[in-house]
Chains A and B, each alone.
Chain A
Amino acid sequence: MENSHSFVLLLVTLNQTINVSVVLIFAGLAGLFSERSGIFDIGLEGKMLISAFFAASVSYQTGNVWVGMLGGIAASMVFALIHGLTSITFRGNQLISGVAINFLASGLTVVLGNAWYRQGGQTPQLSGAARFHEITLPFADTLRGIPLLGPLYSDVISGHTPLVYVAFLMVPLSWWVLYRTRFGLRLRAVGENPASVDTAGISVIRLRFTAVLIAGVLCGMAGAYLSTSQGAAFGKEMTAGRGYIALAALIFAKWRPWYLLMATLLFGLLEAISNLFPNIDVFGIFTIPVQFTQALPYILTVVILAGFVGKAVPPRAGGEPYVKER
């Protein structure tokens, strides 16, 4: 009895981990593409936020969540374009540009939300076709009876919204693009030594813009997931620092797709635990307070960024605008 209870708890925890990891996976991969091309992207947060807002708004107006998602992606890409213009075309400071994008998104979503819906920055609740719903994978019910693997398939892997599966498929896809295609080779090269790409007769600017726009699309999906899949409306500051956590995961993962999946799942697990078990009782001796479990992902972020987890070598040309040498 005790055992089966723990097993159910485990399944619930894993299920929740998957749900909360999705945003981090999308955002982490967005950062991966951008930073691998040599453009630091601290504006993941802002791009997700603006996307979350527009995805919810467009969904609400059109009643079609897919159109809503496209709206979110478009908004995120506009922000990505701003980042590209300042940091690639005008060779500005990439960190400042990213911070500006975060501020802009944070302010703009509230202003527009108030102006359009007058609900204190919220968008109206989405329902029906205006939000994503869980899909049940084939044979989920028939296979549930198989010990261990059955429930794992039926209760953990099955029963998520479509974007969850998209996110997990993005990881091998990103790996394949980066390491098996011409575009990936050039993208990695431009983040390490843009001069090598330039002298090979390839446009550094075009490559970097492509990378930044890919980051825009991925952040767009992350934002749409937040407001139309995980939630059913946009809420003020609903990204809650996940863009920064994704950056920490990216550093933890040393800018590699598979490691990134592991890192985001770890962060996801911590968040799931804090959601599901607010107060953890340790052998009846003392209780770990909810504030502590909630703070865990952020504490881990600080630990990672402080460099306690090995040495992570960022792309060598990261953060530097490319100027042709004489």
Chain B
Amino acid sequence: MCSVATKGRQETAAPSTAPAIELRGISKAFGPVQANKDISLSVARGAIHGIVGENGAGKSTLMSILYGFYKADAGEIFIGGKLTPIHGSQDAINAGIGMVHQHFKLVENFTVLENVILGAEDGQMLRPSLAKARKLLAELSDEYELSVDPDAMIENLSVGHQQRVEILKALYRQADILILDEPTGVLTPAEADHLFRILNGLKAQGKTIILITHKLREIMEITDTVSVMRRGEMTATVQTKDTSPENLAELMVGRKVLLEVEKKPATPGACVLEIENLRVVDEKGVERLKGISLAVQAGEILGIAGVSGNGQSELMEVLGGYQTATGTVRLNGRELDLTGRHSDGQSRRNSGIAHVPEDRHREGLILEFSAWENMAFGYHNDPKYNKNALLMDNAALREDTRQKMDRFDVRPPIPRLQAKNFSGGNQQKLVLAREIERNPDLLLVGQPTRGVDIGAIEFIHKRIIQLRDEGKAILLVSVELEEILSLSDRIAVMFDGRIMGERMPEDTDEKELGLLMAGMGTREAN
């Protein structure tokens, strides 16, 4: 297998003027959904080419076709000027294409070396391949700042290092073309900068890089050319230096989009939420929250920044009522029960907390249920939804859902549609409608715009700020620094179960927050 790959590489390496990749007329349909419509794309050798588009615009489908995960219904792929049919991932690998998926394809309890050689072993025995990989890794780590401990278990590595392993996997297979799908979603700003240095190094060696992202700032920062996709079509390909984020956003959505969030200065009122010395120990005995103290006032948004997995989820779970903890939490001066009989979602809702969970698919919705059924969750005891002690009033619930869908611009506004059939943005609007319209004193919002398209982001941000202006307290958890910076009136940074510090958005920047998120900088709150 490996010898084939080498041969293929040498052949394609010969004509250097041809584009590294050329797609002609690629189309792909999933049932009635046309994911890719007659797409043509040409990427020059040695360039970093960005592909932007909203969720469901067809970016991932196109790249999956290029990597052999799907077969296109029509169209041709040229690699290095040569027509290359790609029927499976093996064909793509042989053609010199490597892919770093958004969700890493690593075996967690294998070592780095084992992951690197998996599928590209030289013979029946592992030992020679492992030795060869060890040598190559040492070379690559010097050349491209790609240092990783070859004997470390993947599960013990940070996300940034795991991503390096994915890149090393591609390089070990002698990839000339590297596709990265949303590579910075899980990285701290410092890790993202490091990644960009690696990519620039690879580019200097003549590698071609395709970067799929929804972060326009990254496109502007690192790409040479950029293509925009909308609804399965390639709407534009431009030189990065000739465009602007506003221009790209307009091309993505098809109308003018406000990238900056417009908001008045906050007018904080009484203290709504007070947290003191909150501690959570999980079932494995690991301390997830190590003594958190926070306060949120009425009419302000407190943003919690941090790389995911540093205790933000546990904090939301405690406040949402489905994780026990020690310490004190007071809502409007009254202490909440953190361990006992009144520590559940229902009690929390009754006391005036509404919760938009971080993972809407697992905690916010039941995807198989219809929109109106989802609208009842947490509020099924509401007299409005019940005829009597036994029967629910489904007609009233459906009507209520229809009205909420109207007010939150959920499309399509069909209460009977299953939740899974809405786009990410519309699913999120359903959850928001359910929670916000309860008129809570405190709104917990986790990752409000994860997997949500730009148009819907604008709407969701507006609604959150509107709620703040009505004098509600809002606790926002997000891994998107931009979102934290633009929405929050005050920012707390979490790292390793602790608050690393609080900043005002106007007095800080991504760099400082990034350092705090990585556990560096002064520890203030503790």
Query: Interface of A with B (CB < 8 Å)?
Result: 180-186, 188-189, 192-193, 195-202, 316, 324-326
From A181, A189, A201, B107 is in contact (CB under 8 Å) with A189
In the complex with contacts A198-B89, A200-B120, A202-B119, A326-B61 CB distance below 8 A:
yes
B84: shortest Cβ distance to chain A, in Å? 15
In the complex with contacts A185-B114, A316-B108, A199-B101 CB distance below 8 A:
yes
A184 to B103, CA, bound (A): 24
A202 to B110, CA, bound (A): 17
**Judging by beta carbons under 8 Å apart, are B118 and A196 in contact?**
yes
**Judging by beta carbons under 8 Å apart, are B118 and A180 in contact?**
no
Q: From residue 232 to 253 of chain B, which have CB atoms closer than 8 A to chain A?
A: none
**Judging by beta carbons under 8 Å apart, are B60 and A199 in contact?**
no
**Judging by beta carbons under 8 Å apart, are B105 and A193 in contact?**
yes
In the complex with contacts A181-B126, A195-B105, A324-B69 CB distance below 8 A:
yes
In the complex with contacts A201-B89, A324-B69, A182-B64 CB distance below 8 A:
no
Which residues of B lie under 8 Å from residue A201 when comparing CB positions? 1, 68, 88-93, 119
**Judging by beta carbons under 8 Å apart, are B106 and A196 in contact?**
yes
**Judging by beta carbons under 8 Å apart, are A186 and B105 in contact?**
no
B117: shortest Cβ distance to chain A, in Å? 8
Which residues of A lie under 8 Å from residue B126 when comparing CB positions? 180-182, 184-185
Q: From residue 98 to 138 of chain B, which have CB atoms closer than 8 A to chain A?
A: 99, 101, 103, 105-110, 114-115, 117-121, 123-127, 129
Which residues of A lie under 8 Å from residue B1 when comparing CB positions? 201
In the complex with contacts A192-B108, A192-B110, A186-B119 CB distance below 8 A:
yes
B152: shortest Cβ distance to chain A, in Å? 16
Query: Interface of B with A (CB < 8 Å)?
Result: 1, 60-61, 64, 67-69, 88-93, 99, 101, 103, 105-110, 114-115, 117-121, 123-127, 129
A295 to B93, CA, bound (A): 56
A198 to B90, CA, bound (A): 9
Which residues of A lie under 8 Å from residue B64 when comparing CB positions? 326
**Judging by beta carbons under 8 Å apart, are A196 and B124 in contact?**
no
B471: shortest Cβ distance to chain A, in Å? 43
A sample of 30 cross-chain residue pairs with beta-carbon separation below 8 angstroms, ordered by A number, consists of A180-B125, A181-B124, A182-B121, A182-B123, A182-B129, A183-B124, A185-B118, A186-B118, A188-B107, A189-B110, A192-B108, A193-B105, A193-B108, A195-B103, A196-B105, A196-B118, A197-B118, A198-B89, A199-B67, A199-B69, A199-B89, A199-B105, A200-B105, A201-B89, A201-B119, A316-B108, A324-B69, A325-B103, A326-B60, A326-B64
A182 to B125, CA, bound (A): 6
A316 to B125, CA, bound (A): 25
**Judging by beta carbons under 8 Å apart, are A196 and B127 in contact?**
no
Which residues of A lie under 8 Å from residue B91 when comparing CB positions? 201
Which residues of B lie under 8 Å from residue A325 when comparing CB positions? 103
Which residues of B lie under 8 Å from residue A185 when comparing CB positions? 114, 117-118, 121, 126
Count chain B CB atoms within 10 A of each CB in A180, A184, A326 and give the residue with the most.
A326
A181 to B123, CA, bound (A): 9
Main secondary structure of the interface of B (DSSP, over half): loop
A186 to B108, CA, bound (A): 14
A197 to B89, CA, bound (A): 10
A196 to B119, CA, bound (A): 9
From B89, B106, B123, A193 is in contact (CB under 8 Å) with B106
A182 to B93, CA, bound (A): 18
Starting from the known contacts A193-B105, A201-B1, A324-B69, 7 additional A-B residue pairs (CB-CB under 8 Å) come to A180-B126, A182-B123, A196-B106, A200-B93, A201-B89, A316-B109, A325-B103
A182 to B128, CA, bound (A): 11
A141 to B172, CA, bound (A): 58
A280 to B64, CA, bound (A): 67
Nearest A residue (CB) for B93 = A201
Which residues of B lie under 8 Å from residue A181 when comparing CB positions? 124-126
**Judging by beta carbons under 8 Å apart, are A200 and B89 in contact?**
yes
B102: shortest Cβ distance to chain A, in Å? 10
Nearest A residue (CB) for B173 = A200
A71 to B421, CA, bound (A): 52
**Judging by beta carbons under 8 Å apart, are B106 and A180 in contact?**
no
B157: shortest Cβ distance to chain A, in Å? 15
Nearest B residue (CB) for A325 = B103
Which residues of A lie under 8 Å from residue B127 when comparing CB positions? 180
B355: shortest Cβ distance to chain A, in Å? 28
**Judging by beta carbons under 8 Å apart, are B118 and A189 in contact?**
yes
A200 to B69, CA, bound (A): 11
**Judging by beta carbons under 8 Å apart, are A196 and B69 in contact?**
no
A316 to B155, CA, bound (A): 13
A187 to B253, CA, bound (A): 45
Nearest B residue (CB) for A203 = B88
From A188, A192, A193, A200, B119 is in contact (CB under 8 Å) with A200
Nearest A residue (CB) for B94 = A201
B388: shortest Cβ distance to chain A, in Å? 40
In the complex with contacts A181-B124, A326-B61, A192-B109 CB distance below 8 A:
yes
A-B complex: 5 closest residue pairs judged by Cβ atoms:
A200-B119, A201-B90, A201-B89, A196-B105, A182-B121
A180 to B114, CA, bound (A): 11
B407: shortest Cβ distance to chain A, in Å? 32
**Judging by beta carbons under 8 Å apart, are B115 and A196 in contact?**
yes
B33: shortest Cβ distance to chain A, in Å? 11
A185 to B115, CA, bound (A): 9
A195 to B69, CA, bound (A): 11
A325: shortest Cβ distance to chain B, in Å? 8
B124: shortest Cβ distance to chain A, in Å? 5
B156: shortest Cβ distance to chain A, in Å? 15
Which residues of B lie under 8 Å from residue A180 when comparing CB positions? 125-127
A221 to B1, CA, bound (A): 34
A181 to B89, CA, bound (A): 22
A193 to B101, CA, bound (A): 14
A326 to B36, CA, bound (A): 13
A184 to B118, CA, bound (A): 10
Which residues of B lie under 8 Å from residue A326 when comparing CB positions? 60-61, 64
From B68, B105, B108, B124, A182 is in contact (CB under 8 Å) with B124
A1: shortest Cβ distance to chain B, in Å? 55
A180 to B130, CA, bound (A): 11
Which residues of B lie under 8 Å from residue A200 when comparing CB positions? 89, 93, 105, 118-120
Which residues of B lie under 8 Å from residue A188 when comparing CB positions? 107, 110
Which residues of A lie under 8 Å from residue B125 when comparing CB positions? 180-182
A316: shortest Cβ distance to chain B, in Å? 7
Nearest A residue (CB) for B114 = A185
A124 to B123, CA, bound (A): 49
Which residues of A lie under 8 Å from residue B124 when comparing CB positions? 181-183
A181 to B88, CA, bound (A): 24
Which residues of A lie under 8 Å from residue B119 when comparing CB positions? 186, 197, 200-202
Count chain B CB atoms within 10 A of each CB in A182, A192, A324, A326 and give the residue with the most.
A182
A47: shortest Cβ distance to chain B, in Å? 28
